[in-house]
Amino acid sequence: MVAGKAGRLQHKEMTMNYITVGKENSCNIDLYYEDFGTGKPVVLIHGWPLSSRSWERQVPALLSAGHRVVAYDRRGFGQSGRPSTGYDYDTLADDLHAVMTRLDLRDATLVGFSMGGGEVARYLGRYGTERVRKAVFIAAVTPFLLKSPDNPAGLDGNIFEGIRQAIHADRVAFLTSFLSNFYNIHEFGGKKVSDEVARLSWNIAAGASPVGTLECVDSWLTDFREDLVSIRIPTLVIHGDSDRILPFAATGSRTHEAVEGSRLIVVAGAPHGLNWTHAEEVNDGLIDFLQETL
């Protein structure tokens, strides 16, 4: 009886940092999250194919600035559940809403990096700003990546088909080349990003759901233009002008144009993974924005 009770208590302790957002067959779909500090909440939404651990250089700075920091792993990534479905942005926004409501976060700032910028845009378009005071897009996927007659600034669809094929053929090998471009290793390797950081990123990415890793590629082609033009809260856009994953001209520049009154910080020479390589510039801009009164 004692052993059984101890086992139940241990299970409770192990699962207290998870929010259940659904079920697939016999498995729960759980989101892993971490919740630190006090003050106005900042919700960090990571990029593909990493996890909330990618915010390592932001969390201490935000805590020192007096903020409560909530970081969670997207379904399929990090320590969250690995379902075979739900990688579309409507569902991902619903997942974010579950985090916001279960933790009863209010007056929050949503910070989305890369793919996480899509969650920020779709959440605001879907749920509004009742719980949100500010929004931040860092190297974000918005507003619309796919080139089309009404979106000539987008990227050719063959690019995304090539990514799908590379993941199908050898996902873990693809991750090596992807992360090289993510950090502009040819320029910053051994300087602004160590071999160990690149290896850690690869380990996190390789540990993600193979299904989720692939399914997210389709979600990148989501059109966020209507979500962005509806935003009426203070918004900051941060982007590197040497981003080889999501080129500034196709993403950050256009996101800034779409959100009326938004502020833009262009980090000179910064790659996609600027939240690591240029953490000081990112943190300074982010914290200054958070501390401004409305």
pLDDT of residue 15: 53
pTM for this model (two decimals): 0.94
pLDDT of residue 16: 72
Question: Which residues of the chain fall below pLDDT 50?
Answer: 1-3, 7-14
- Residue 16 neighbours by CB under 8 Å, 6+ apart: none
Q: Please, what is the average pLDDT of the chain?
A: 95
Segment 245-264, tens digit of pLDDT:
999 999 999 999 999 999 99
Domains and CATH numbers, the chain: 31-291 (3.40.50.1820)
Segment 192-241, tens digit of pLDDT:
999 999 999 999 999 999 999 999 999 999 999 999 999 999 999 999 99
pLDDT of residue 293: 78
Q: Which DSSP symbol is given to 224?
A: -
Could you list the active site residues? 114, 243, 272
Q: Are strands 108-113 and 68-72 parallel, antiparallel or unpaired?
A: unpaired
> CA-CA-CA-CA torsion for 246, 81, 103, 261, nearest 10 degrees?
10
22 vs 64, 187, 221, CA distance in Å?
Answer: 35, 43, 24
